[in-house]
Amino acid sequence: MTASLLADIAQRPGDTVLLTHADGHTTSLEGMFAAAANMARRLGELGVGPGDRLLVQAENSDQLLTFYVACALARIAACPLDPALPPARVAGLRTTIAPKMLIDAATLTTLAAPAADPMAALPGPDDAAEWMIIFSSGTTGEPKGIVHTQGSLMASAKSFAALSELGPESVIYHHFPMFYMAGIFNMFLCPLVAGARIVLGQKFSQMQMLSFWEEPRRHGVNHLTLTPTMALSLCQLYRRDDKLLDHLAQYQTIISTSSTLHPSVAERFHQTFAVPLRTCYGVTEIGGSITVQSWAEGLAFESCGAFSPETSIRAGSDANHPGEILVKTPFMMKGYLTRSGLSQPFDADGYFSTGDLGYVEDGRLFVTGRENDLVKKGGEFISLGLIENLALSLSQVAEVSVVAVPDDYWGNKIVLFYVPAAGVGMDEMENAAKDLFGANLRKIEIPDKLIAVPWFPKTSIGKTIKRDLVSRYTL
């Protein structure tokens, strides 16, 4: 890009409403950028300047979003971490990040005070400057620091905003953690690029699921992003509400992100709320979400939708011949942050290996599984995703997770963890599973063990931490 997209956005009409808060008061685009400029100048007074990194641990707030813009204006890299991350884990990451300082809620409040010299010059946005170092969730291993520049994130946001048809009439509900990619990219940068309005809601949690729809209805939300786990939880809690169904009928789109959307969950969501849950595909390393289903595709429960012309994907040839999904975009990450510098895991042609399997047909991406989703048992390949999707169709379960554990004889055994639905006993669940699996799976695919658990260990956005399930319940 020849000019910074962020700088262009700052020149839009200043009275445009960017944020709507829970109590109804609003923040304009001009107000956001003015507050960000003040924060950037305050950082300069503290000796923080271009190229520095800041470790950020703060709960959701409008100040945190403003701070991210301030980092862009000052050409500083923000490294947001989960505020609930154990201190020992943070200490290890600090060694890798080497931050200039720690930004917490108290620091944000101090930076927000309008006391900086308004005449102090700012470096201003720069597409080449490192902006975000976003750590992966680490559900299967240690988190990785994914480095993005201002240019890569803003170009990706512009591309996905167009794919998902965001515009000035769009009203997005923000309820994801703001240290997480979707909370930064899907719910802040994409609407910022599109000129949409953002409603700042409560962070999604078990405590507020019963009242989840109140703020979206009150503020006229028409664009929503959910994880599959969130979507399933909302389905389970739903009780007939015609006014809610009327509200949902006005939505431009409801998108599923962050993990695999099993067809059984998509179908249940549609049956419950009479609107499709449209999946997208992407990973943080390639710039975030790069595909999205159309309304009709969301009802077919098949592809992950179309991708933009600037994106190149290499995969299998058809459904019978899936292959590893390799992606190349103009908005790839700069690399992984390591203690010795940046590591760039791209092949000779600049493609990134996603670890997923699938194929491309008619400009649409079909994902058939992950490389580690296929495990060998008794010399045969077993799809854990196939079993998990089937188990989720059982009304006797609230949640399901299927894993493989090493076995001396079989190579791997298949273990199905489940949280029982309310009022369901183990015998009822096991009998229902026996009938379902017997009719739909080969004998070798049937789980070797069913384990009922009271809850699943999860990341802050609802991804099940499978390694914790295994360590807690299979020793």
Q: What is the pLDDT of residue 140?
A: 46
Residues 211 and 283 occupy one common structural domain:
yes
Domain tally, the chain: 2
Q: What is the pLDDT of residue 341?
A: 86
Residues 332 and 447 occupy one common structural domain:
no
The structure tokens 């943070």 sit at 90
Q: What is the pLDDT of residue 447?
A: 95
Residues 362 and 401 occupy one common structural domain:
no
Residues 433 and 341 occupy one common structural domain:
no
CATH classification of the domain holding 214? 3.40.50.12780
Residues 294 and 183 occupy one common structural domain:
yes
Residues 130 and 45 occupy one common structural domain:
yes
Residues 297 and 383 occupy one common structural domain:
no
- Crossing angle for the helix pair 384-391 and 263-273, nearest 10 degrees? 30
Q: What is the pLDDT of residues 188-235, one digit of tens each?
A: 999 999 999 999 999 998 888 889 999 999 999 999 999 988 998 899
Residues 411 and 348 occupy one common structural domain:
no
The domain of 68 spans 5-369
Residues 406 and 362 occupy one common structural domain:
no
CATH classification of the domain holding 385? 3.30.300.30
Residues 344 and 400 occupy one common structural domain:
no
Q: What is the pLDDT of residue 411?
A: 82
Below-50 pLDDT ranges, the chain: 1-2, 139-140
Residues 186 and 72 occupy one common structural domain:
yes
Q: What is the pLDDT of residue 328?
A: 96
Residues 277 and 332 occupy one common structural domain:
yes
Q: Could you say which of 369, 404, 427 is where a domain stops?
A: 369
Q: Could you say which of 339, 369, 399 is where a domain stops?
A: 369
Q: Could you say which of 338, 369, 400 is where a domain stops?
A: 369
Q: What is the pLDDT of residue 137?
A: 61
Q: What is the pLDDT of residue 8?
A: 92
